[in-house]
Structure 1
Amino acid sequence: MRDMEDFATNGTGRTTPEQPPEQPPERSPEQPPEIPGRGAPASLLVVAAHPDDIEFCVSGTVMQWIARGTRVTYCIVTDGGAGGYDEQLPRQAMADLRRAEQVHSAKLSGVADVRFLGYPDSFVEASVELRRDLCRVIREVRPQRAIIPSPEINWARVADLHPDHRAVGDACLRAIYPEARNPFAHAQLLKEEGLEPWTVHELWLMTGPTPNQYVDVTPVFDRKVEALRIHTSQTAHFDDLAGLLRTWLGEHATAGGLPPGRMAEAFQIVHID
């Protein structure tokens, strides 16, 4: 069966990196060829509002791209201090716990580069300061592709309505276009820190209302569940976490035209060039 990395409901992606991408490892004969702009990129930046957002939404895709040679960086915007269900735990202790959970979970997925911006949980705004910090990360990492939260409301799923998600998505969009590529935006990044402008050519949105790309994550589903369970402070209360994910990802797979029993993560690919 065709790998879902090569499946999209409509449109075609483009790959136009500023410099030649790193060469991915040779494919095994059973791996299908990838459609440009939709398979594994040479480098990837994933930005999320909270620890655990990545594991819920896109970790299966990330795991499979890493297996194909992608270099991945995670950037978590908030400290996660407003999360969890332990009312006796001080909020700073919760933030420290969630940071540790994120590092551990990322390691299981194969990601060693995890960056935390430390903004207060539940109070994110697309401020100049946040956009500057995101531009700094973009210019340091220099990714071919970025996965970010959608700035749009997804009325079909209440869990995606957190205002931090939309604020981070808005800030990321502004940072990616036009600020990170503009030498005169946040000029101190170039003048004082020596960070040259960088153009992110491929943008994928998660948690949005209009996905147009579905990635089959069935082969790594068990690892995805394991990575999410590491976020004990956020998932211990679920009686059947695997069942919840199976239902949710199964709905994505159905929307993407996959056979029954498959599971997929959903994205909206946005052309920014």
Structure 2
Amino acid sequence: MLTTHDYEAMVIGAHPDDNDFGTGATTALWARQGKKIVWVVMTDGTEGGEVPTQDDKELMLLREREQTNASKVLGVEKVEFLRFPDGHLTNTEETRKAVVRLIRQYRPRVVFTHDPTQHIMAPDPDENPTGTGYLNHPDHRATGNIVLDAIFPFAGNPRSFRDLLLEEGLQPYRVNEVYLYGTGQANTYIDVTETIEIKGKGLQEHLSQFNPDDNQKMIERLKERAAWVAKEGNKAKGLDLQYAEAFRRIKLHVPPDPTIADPTVEEEA
């Protein structure tokens, strides 16, 4: 099984702009640090609009162009579009295999995706009578489950999807860590003070989704949210952050240090 990685991170979101919202500033930060990052979009994005008569293919291609442009702003090296039907994503052999193929192809050290356990995000109405929450999109939850199943057991098992190995030459691979975004169980806060503005500029490329006249307001809202996340991180972890993105970080595999000799291996005489 291959354990050395080619890419630092693979970010897998359900729709165009999901990765931007969940990891845009962290992606820009890591890209600035010289880390190779690939983004994956699971669905074709064709339900992300307000005009019922708009042609599906036209909207799909438009949203893919917007995502490609946004990714360039953030420094993403490659974007993969899997084009499963928007609004109808399910955890199947087909969707799992598509993700396993990409994990084996790019061999990322870290995979970012939606937290599939997060169904509802809402304040206590007794504590905040005017506050509203939201229900997590089923495609988000499906994506998270697909990705976690792909990571284990399928990506690392040579007997899973054997044609990927025997016909396509894609070796089994073990992901080191998972970072879940859109989570209510954050344990990791990344300082994105230097890239929060870049996140906003990336999101501004999604012109089909946002009113250009509200671009500055959107950046202000992003910064307000990132400041709130930083405050939570400061309180929970004793940090001193201005702007942050938060994740539920799960360590799955710690590769052996190649500079340390294995005591179980006897030296040849």
Residue 126 (structure 1) aligns with: 91
In 1: Cα distance, 2:135 partner to 2:80 partner: 22
Moved more, 213-222 or 121-130: 213-222
155, 175, 197: which one aligns with 2:150: 175
59, 66, 70: which one aligns with 1:94: 59
In 1: Cα distance, 2:197 partner to 2:220 partner: 11
233, 245, 257: which one aligns with 1:265: 245
In 2: Cα distance, 1:193 partner to 1:43 partner: 23
In 1: Cα distance, 2:135 partner to 2:213 partner: 18
Q: CA deviation at 1:160?
A: 6.4
In 2: Cα distance, 1:233 partner to 1:223 partner: 19
Deviations 1:158-188 (A, max 9, x none): 5560010110000000000110000101111
217, 222, 225: which one aligns with 1:248: 225
Is 1:18 equivalent to 2:6 in the alignment? no
Moved more, 200-209 or 231-240: 231-240
Matched residue type, 2:227 = G
In 1: Cα distance, 2:119 partner to 2:28 partner: 25
Matched residue type, 1:191 = L
* Structure 1 ranges of 4+ moved more than 6 A: none
In 2: Cα distance, 1:201 partner to 1:43 partner: 10
Residues 59-98 of structure 1: pairs in structure 2 closer than 5 A: 59-98=24-63
Is 1:147 equivalent to 2:112 in the alignment? yes
In 2: Cα distance, 1:168 partner to 1:99 partner: 18
CA contact (8 A) 1:154 1:207 kept: no
In structure 2, do the counterparts of structure 1 residues 190 and 159 end up closer, same or farther at CA, with 3 Å as the change threshold?
farther
In 2: Cα distance, 1:101 partner to 1:72 partner: 18
Percent identity of the aligned residues?
Answer: 33
Moved more, 250-259 or 234-243: 234-243
In 1: Cα distance, 2:50 partner to 2:212 partner: 9
Matched residue type, 2:118 = I
Q: CA deviation at 1:155?
A: 2.4
Matched residue type, 2:204 = R
The two structures, once aligned, show a CA RMSD in angstroms of: 1.9
SS for the counterpart of 2:120 is coil
Q: CA deviation at 1:245?
A: 1.1
Residue 14 (structure 2) aligns with: 49
Residue 199 (structure 1) aligns with: 174
Matched residue type, 2:141 = R
Q: CA deviation at 1:207?
A: 0.7
State how many pairs are aligned. Answer: 236
Unpaired runs of at least 5, structure 2: 123-132, 254-269
In structure 2, do the counterparts of structure 1 residues 266 and 88 end up closer, same or farther at CA, with 3 Å as the change threshold?
same
In 2: Cα distance, 1:116 partner to 1:81 partner: 13
Matched residue type, 1:183 = P
In structure 2, do the counterparts of structure 1 residues 80 and 115 end up closer, same or farther at CA, with 3 Å as the change threshold?
same
In 2: Cα distance, 1:243 partner to 1:69 partner: 28
CA contact (8 A) 1:47 1:74 kept: yes
Answer with 1 or 2: which has the greater Rg.
2
In 1: Cα distance, 2:3 partner to 2:218 partner: 41
Matched residue type, 2:248 = Q
Q: CA deviation at 1:234?
A: 1.1
184, 195, 199: which one aligns with 1:224: 199
In 2: Cα distance, 1:77 partner to 1:146 partner: 14
Moved more, 171-180 or 77-86: 77-86
In structure 2, do the counterparts of structure 1 residues 259 and 84 end up closer, same or farther at CA, with 3 Å as the change threshold?
farther
Unpaired runs of at least 5, structure 1: 1-16, 23-41
In 2: Cα distance, 1:217 partner to 1:237 partner: 24
Q: What TM-score, normalized to structure 1?
A: 0.81
Q: CA deviation at 1:85?
A: 2.6
In 2: Cα distance, 1:88 partner to 1:247 partner: 36
CA contact (8 A) 1:85 1:233 kept: no
